[in-house]
Amino acid sequence: MLANLNYRAALLSRVLTPDGGGGFTESWQTVGQAWVKITPLGADEKFGPDACETRIRHRLVTRARDDIVDGMRLAVGERTFAIHAVLGRDATDAYLTLMCEELP
């Protein structure tokens, strides 16, 4: 399985900074690196009166670690993946499965 972890990814965490007007500015900060395997799962499209939205879902696998949680992102080159679910948190699991959506 280790040989299949062939993409180097930056682990991104959301940072909210006060904007001085009562709101916040969102940015993403690199908090670590991981090797991952990327497997596309599928895609769907939503059509509206003025737009078409495409969602592409992927399963990413990485070595087990405690600092990856839902809501974080992984950046692989120019591609960014939003982590929606983290599976495999048992003490016996050597790998984590990350259910992700590729962001445009």
> What does the mean pLDDT of the chain come to?
90
pLDDT of 51: 74
List CB contacts of 82: < 8 A, sequence separation 6 or more: 71, 73, 100, 101, 103
Between the alpha carbon of residue 23 and those of residues 12, 20, 65, 83, the distances in Å are 22, 7, 33, 25
Range of the domain at 75: 2-103
Task: From 75, 78, 76, 95, select the one nearest 87 (Cα to Cα).
Answer: 95
* Number of residues that this document lists for the chain: 104
Q: What percent of the chain has pLDDT over 90?
A: 68
CATH of the domain at 53: 2.40.10.270
For residue 6, which phi and psi values (nearest 5 degrees)? -110, 10
Domains contained in the chain, number = 1
Query: pLDDT, tens digit, for every residue of 28-64?
Result: 999 999 999 999 999 888 777 777 778 899 999 999 9
